[in-house]
Amino acid sequence: MSAEMSVLLLWLVLIQEGAAIRPAVAFTPDYKKIFTTEQITMTCDVGSTIGEGMDYIWYKDSEQVYNGKSYIIQKAETSHSGSYQCQSRPGEISDPARLEVSHGWVILQIPLYVYEGDEINIRCHHYPGYSGGKTRFYKDNRVIRDWSDNAEYYIRDVTKTTAGKYNCTKQIYRRGIYYQYVDVVSLAVHDLFTTPTISVTPQPVITTDKMALTCQTSLPPPPRHNTQLRIAFYREGGIVQGFGVSDTYEVYNVQLEDSGKYSCEVETTDGRVRKRSAETIIQIGELFSSPRIIVINKVMFEGYPFTLICDTTLSTYVRPRDVQFTFYRDGRKVQDSSPSNKYEVQSAQLEDSGNYTCHVRTSIHSTIKISDGHNIWVQELFMTPSLKVTPHSVSKADNMTLTCQTSLPPPPRHNTQLRIAFYREGGIVQGFGVSDTYEVYNVQLEDSGKYSCEVETTDGRVRKRSAETIIQIEGCAVKEMTCEQGFSSVVDGHLQETRTSKAM
């Protein structure tokens, strides 16, 4: 087999395997603008010696103009201006490279390709055969170097901020006089390599797995295809694998503490260009999601039921029977660990109000996750009743009225139906009914005692009793020709006494 055939077969293999063999056009000298009469060599760069001896085709403005790896223009003419591409056979066609051939007096020459981290000279060049004088350089219409004899402007470390509009003004000596001529170019800065991205396998990562993080970036086609890069990996901003040639960071037998924000950083070997990926959050062993409390019956009144549900999503690695739920109110346990994710209250009381959380854990791991707090407020269905006695002074043989006072909240429970009962000395004197008053006619001394009332809903869910009120009915006593009559009562433990006097 001939050497040419061997090379051809190798190229075919590279193409089938997806190898990057796209060529690029390179200029020598490395300027994309030249004068007429000057020479330039255009080379089809495939980035390796594999292509030696292969066929190359050159195109100008999409028209084939030459065969061979290097296309040399000995004496350029303005007609040579155009977009040049080359193609290796077999292989892809390059991106177009624009060549400008000028017949003017001054051109500002910049390299064909400018990448981050490059060192470049931009050259204020005058037409061959004439004498040049001083030169001034501008960027974005601002002077960056004033008049000098140096026709080149050196940029040591190219960054994205180097891009912009450059122009130069140069003196040209003609017929005994220096004339000034100007040229303007736009300088674009290409990425030396793309901003890296980080990927992780497997997905998801569970404890005891082997985790591999890969830092992915790409290089441009020639002439920067042979750029050497180094890669480092970070977790929570701290380095976990220093700069090296490997694009992979591996963790064996991962644990929950390996969770965190990971990133990678790529730099050139000389450190001129460095780029870091965005952070990727990796959660190891997400056996179940962070729980949240769902409330059934969100409007709560005393006496009515409510249910809290501790909602979480289990991974495929966890069986429901392995999960335990615990409920807390204001930090105190109200329901022990159990497989049930529900906490039910059949008849809510005011003391059931508070900040509730639920804790979730599995029997196969020590991980515990706690929900955010959820405030529960149990409202009064009606106020605790109080007892009012009229008239204010009750004497023997008077009529006495006891009124049981309470109040209902605004909607949605304004239509709650209540029943009321009255008690004396703990014994019922008027059973439950709709009336809020209890009347005693022609009171006697034996009607004295401790009175209270009780209010309940018609379904008996909520019942509240007032404090006891002591009512003392007093008779008539002859003392210095007066009769002292009245009653004394104790309301909520405080003695109240009323006396009236009348002549006999």
pLDDT at 411: 67
How far apart CA 238 and CA 409 sit, in angstroms, is 59
> Using 50, 70 and 90 to split pLDDT, how confident is the model at 179?
very high
CA distances from 458 to 95, 130, 269, 360, 453 (A): 88, 114, 85, 40, 16
Whether 434 has a pLDDT exceeding 70, the answer reads yes
The secondary structure element, H or E, covering residue 299 is none
Mean pLDDT for all residues in the chain: 86
Burial (CB count <10 Å: 0-12, 13-18, 19+), residue 234: buried
The single-letter DSSP state of residue 301 is: B
Chain-centroid distance of CA 480 in Å reads 91
| Contact between residue 445 and residue 473 where contact means Cβ atoms under 8 Å apart | yes
Q: Is the model more confident about 104 or about 289?
A: 104
Domains recognised in the chain with CATH numbers: 3-187 (2.60.40.10), 197-282 (2.60.40.10), 292-376 (2.60.40.10), 386-503 (2.60.40.10)
Whether 75 has a pLDDT exceeding 90, the answer reads yes
Whether 46 has a pLDDT exceeding 90, the answer reads no
User: What does the pLDDT average to over 269-274?
Assistant: 93
Whether 1 has a pLDDT exceeding 60, the answer reads no
How far apart CA 395 and CA 472 sit, in angstroms, is 9
Q: Which range, of 10-24, 105-119, 352-366, 429-443, averages the lowest pLDDT?
A: 10-24
283 contacts: CB under 8 Å, gap ≥ 6:
204, 205, 259
Whether 481 has a pLDDT exceeding 50, the answer reads no
379, 377, 459, 433: which is closest to 411 by C-alpha? 379
Other Cβ atoms closer than 10 A to 60? 19
pLDDT at 280: 96
pLDDT at 50: 55
User: What does the pLDDT average to over 231-253?
Assistant: 96
The single-letter DSSP state of residue 190 is: B
> Using 50, 70 and 90 to split pLDDT, how confident is the model at 213?
very high
Q: Is the model more confident about 356 or about 485?
A: 356
DSSP of 374-425, one letter per residue?
EEE-PBPSSPPPEEEEESSS-BTT--EEEEEE----STTSTT--EEEEEEET
Q: Is the model more confident about 43 or about 501?
A: 43
Q: Which range, of 96-110, 158-172, 215-229, averages the lowest pLDDT?
A: 215-229
Give the 3-state secondary structure of residue 11. helix
> Using 50, 70 and 90 to split pLDDT, how confident is the model at 48?
low
pLDDT at 5: 38
